[in-house]
């Protein structure tokens, strides 16, 4: 399984962009990179996922390095509601229908008013 | 869409008692996952089902834990007998029966279990 490395914590100010890094140097060529977040006292929430190209959705952008050994989740304008633990997860699904997600420790994001 | 529904939200029980946690996945979702979260171990996958069939239960900690999915709209996780070290937040998640790359998981709000 690919090992991921994320900072234990990061801080940001409200309405500023946030770049959350993740290293996954042992990722295989078919593993997608998923990002989830967990707000306090809630279950994890899907944020975004991608394979090689950069991806955008209404919540965030995902920038994937050309060698795929790292990726960055970008929150364009942080709000207080973005304070959460962010998890970067290579999926190891291999194209099967029975994908499992293995969560690491994640990055605790604190957003200051 | 009511999302993934878990009950109860909180459960306090005495050591040795049987505990049953319940989950209703989103209608049309064919895969269901049970996770456990503690401060020490983070989020751990316990078991997952596809089309009501257990696919991988390698994360179930021991024989005291059992999980069932009698139909597509209901699953239970049972602990018998319960022990203080089982205290944790238990999450249920579901996803449509499709490659993981198309759909993410939808998690429930969790059941906070305290065994005293």
- Do you find a cis peptide bond into B8, omega within 30 degrees of 0? yes
The confidence score (pLDDT) of residue B47 equals: 94
Mean pLDDT, rounded, for B37-64: 92
pLDDT value for A95: 47
The per-residue pLDDT for B98 is: 59
**Please, which residues have CB within 8 angstroms of residue B80's CB and are 6 or more apart in sequence?**
B18, B19, B64, B66
- The pLDDT tens digits of the residues spanning B56-99 come to 898 998 899 999 999 999 999 999 999 999 999 999 999 886 55
In this predicted structure, what is the pLDDT of residue A91? Answer: 81
> What is the rounded distance in angstroms from the CA atom of residue B63 to the CA atom of residue A86?
32
- Mark which residues 49-78 of B lie under 8 Å from A by CB: 50, 55-56
Q: Does A43 touch chain B (CB under 8 A)?
A: yes
Q: Pick the residue with more confidence: B24 or A93?
A: B24
Report which of A55, A49, A44 is spatially closest to residue A84, judged by C-alpha positions: A44
How confident is the model at residue B2, as a pLDDT?
81
Token pair in block for residue B23: 């989950």
User: Given CB atoms, is A91 within the 8 Å cutoff of chain B?
Assistant: yes
Above 90 in pLDDT, residue A99?
no
Interface residue of A51, A100, A102 to substitute, partner B, most B CBs within 10 Å: A100
Nearest chain A residue to B107, by CA: A43
Q: How much is the average pLDDT of B17-44? A: 95
Tokens of B32: 């269901």
Between B114 and A101, the more confident residue is B114
Judge contact between B9 and B111, C-beta under 8 A. yes
A58 touches chain B (CB under 8 A): no
Looking at residue A70, its pLDDT comes to: 94
Max Cα distance, chain B (Å): 42
pLDDT digits (tens, 9 = 90+) for A12-70: 999 999 999 999 988 887 788 999 999 999 999 999 999 888 999 999 999 999 999 99
């Amino acid at each position: 399984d690919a090992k991921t490395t994320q900072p234990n914590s990061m801080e940001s100010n409200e309405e500023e962009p946030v770049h959350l890094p993740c290293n996954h140097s042992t990722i295989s060529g078919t593993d997608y990179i998923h990002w989830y977040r967990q707000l306090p006292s809630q279950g994890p929430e899907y944020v975004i996922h991608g394979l090689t190209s950069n991806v955008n959705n209404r919540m965030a952008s995902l920038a994937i390095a050309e060698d795929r050994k790292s990726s960055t989740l970008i929150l364009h304008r942080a709000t207080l509601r973005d304070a959460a633990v962010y998890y970067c997860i290579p999926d190891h699904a291999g194209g099967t229908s029975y994908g499992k997600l293995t969560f690491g420790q994640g990055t605790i994001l604190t957003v200051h008013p | 869409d009511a999302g993934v529904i878990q009950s109860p939200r909180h459960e306090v029980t005495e050591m040795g008692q049987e505990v049953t946690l319940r989950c209703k996945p989103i209608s049309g979702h064919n895969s269901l996952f049970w996770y456990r979260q503690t401060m020490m171990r983070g989020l751990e996958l316990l078991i997952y089902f596809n089309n009501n069939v257990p696919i991988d239960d390698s994360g179930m900690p021991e024989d005291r834990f059992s999980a069932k999915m009698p139909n597509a709209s209901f699953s239970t996780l049972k602990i018998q007998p319960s022990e203080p070290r089982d205290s944790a937040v238990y999450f249920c998640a579901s996803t449509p029966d499709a490659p993981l790359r198309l759909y993410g998981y939808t998690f429930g709000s969790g059941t906070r279990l305290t065994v005293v």
